[in-house]
Structure 1
Amino acid sequence: MEKTKGKTGISRARFMAGAAAVGGAVAAGGFAAPAPASAAVAEARRGLKHRGIVYTVGEGETPGTAWSARRMREDVRVIGEELHADSVEVTGDGVERLNATASEVAERGLHVWLQPTLGDVPQREILEHLAESGRHGERLRRQGAQVTLAVGCEFWLFVPGILPGDDVFERIENLQKGNYDPAKMKKRLARFTAKAAAVGRSVFHGKLSYAAAQDEWLEKVDWGLFDIVGIDYYSYLPRKADYVRELSKYLRWGKPLAITEFGTCTFKGAPEAGGMGWDIVDHSKNPPQIKGNRVRSERTQAAYLTDLLDVFESMNLHAAMTFEFVTADAPHRPDNPLYDLDMAAYAIVKSIKDRPDDPASDWHWEPKQAFHAVARHYGRATC
């Protein structure tokens, strides 16, 4: 499902880069579900309901970073036991990868935010991919797991036929140059979003959501189709009160608000760059290298994440998903900052290759300061 002849689905990392450029088997006995909160408890809740992390599944860009069920299971264990997250946003493409990861998250007793994001293939295949993933989410839900289904992410860019262009980068170029009809784009986007919501409802009977761009001029969603408002959020503002003011507009529908992505990269000045933090790599060089005189700063990343988490907690939002756990194809090079691609990664752990110049090299990850900062925040909040 994740591929069509002659074309592969776009990775979530590539998708995010494009968007920023414009501004196992289920246990037979079921899952242990927490006791439902009473209405009085729900009304009295303070802080986030779900504190989570984005976990992207994909086939990997090199033999060494190919998807591994073994790695995934260990990562999910760490997310629950050491990061103290109670929710995992399982996103990416490939039904088998999505389903295996969602099952593992459910087995661990964590909330599954299932968000299939197959892109750059025909719309029919994207909807079929959504339906297959949604059916698995429904099976998990019926066995007692906590599951939310998000039908996709920023369709205006991810899905062919809404903006002109055969892939994400062509669509970005057409958007930037004004080579599109805004009225037609909005109509096509609304039509596909409604189709995706209908497919989601037909196979999944829990809460439904969608991850929209924060720029409403670009993507104005009919939130009547969904139970939870979802926003990918990459703002940088001077004061916490400014974030509250900006986010409050997403509460006007009277529905729970989930921050489906938020984060920053690992260098000084990255938060100010917002969603463009990734754009410090010169991919015309072989191997790719960092542009300019960037200074690595794990502290900068950690401080931004905890500041935003404080804002989300103060607003009692439904969920916040830190973007992201690991980016295997952006390895850290402690020996050579020029090739330290992890500076351009949003991940809270750094991937380190055993043999930096070998595409087939094995690798491991180590926690960044951001991992420890988020773990402390999540751990305190759940005590």
Structure 2
Amino acid sequence: MNLHEYQGKEILSSFGVRVQRGIVADNHKSAVDAAKQLSAETGTGWWVIKAQIHAGGRGKGGGVKLAKNLGEVESISKNIIGMMLKTPQTPPQGKKVHQVLIAEDVYYPGDSEPEEFYMSVLLNRGAGKNMIMYSTEGGMDIETVAEETPHLIFLEEVDPATGLLPFQARKIAFNLGLSGKAFKEMTKFATSLYEAYVKSDATLFEINPVLKTSDDKILAVDAKVTLDNNALFRHKDYVDLRDLREESPIEVEANAAGLNYVDLDGNVGCMVNGAGLAMSTMDLIKQSGGEPANFLDVGGTADAERVETGFRIILKDPAVKAILVNIFGGIVRCDRVAQGIVDAYKNMGDEIKVPIIVRLQGTNAVEAKELIDKSGLNVISVVEFKEAADKVQEVLG
């Protein structure tokens, strides 16, 4: 589950991580009120107006602006709220901005120049350990840094059994070239950040930039946070942080129906039971010259109602030119799945305008194929993977 910047900062702050303070607003008038409140609490005279969407690169798309007076706070907020913000990480049409974060100015003058760093915490699956990735090149796309100056990216693997050890936190501060107060601040920042990652059951904490202020404070200016959906039962207070407006409407509908669905940019819809079989089916579609339009795992109960729901969700995507149903009848009998497909097809009638290819293997697979073949519907029944691939290639032309 992805979070907005302001939500991620709230979690960080709860674990003792110093953050750039801010107040969220959903209209230009409340934005001005937030700026006044922030000024009274922090003494800031300038404010950063940040669009709150689930995507990076907001500044490049015009979603992050500096306001030097309350009039600019109002006008900038009015322009950003409601806009379709386009960044490299949004769909082509962009994402609508529903709220902005009014944040304090932390780039104030002082004894030294502010410095920006990059830091993230995530799982290194290959090593079976958590990992802190960090760099002196903050404020930039980390992909660009990795490609052009890979020697400026550092990795610190952390054993989950011991957590981040003191010497590792000091090593991070040392590699970032810090000393004195800033060195101590960074060791505390890295330790608290790792604690927040573990105790919130996150899959990603990305802070870009981590700022060393002119008076040697270390704080998170941004926060990209992804939580593990499977661990939300341990964090009842995090469930309400989900913003359905930021998610694909099709995925939200599928989730409500109890289907495991991921929207993709292809032309062949998939309906499969089991994640492994689903991945194999997607490979089969690509090898046949098509592109998967979705990942859809209907689970072990592929009855008529569930199949019909799956069809309706897949067909909401206008790019779908064919549907491949690939079910293994282990827990569920193939003939029941076949009957479910026939019943769903008849219920939907003219709504189905694309060919459906069905491969059923397992318990009562022979009876299932016979039932499909005798249905008189535009459903193509196949037995082998190769045969399914050939049919996909055939219907796509």
- Whether TM exceeds 0.5 here: the answer is no
Q: Higher strand share goes to which structure?
A: 2
Tell me the TM-score normalized by structure 1. Answer: 0.26
Tell me the TM-score normalized by structure 2. Answer: 0.25
Task: Flag the structure with larger Rg.
Answer: 2
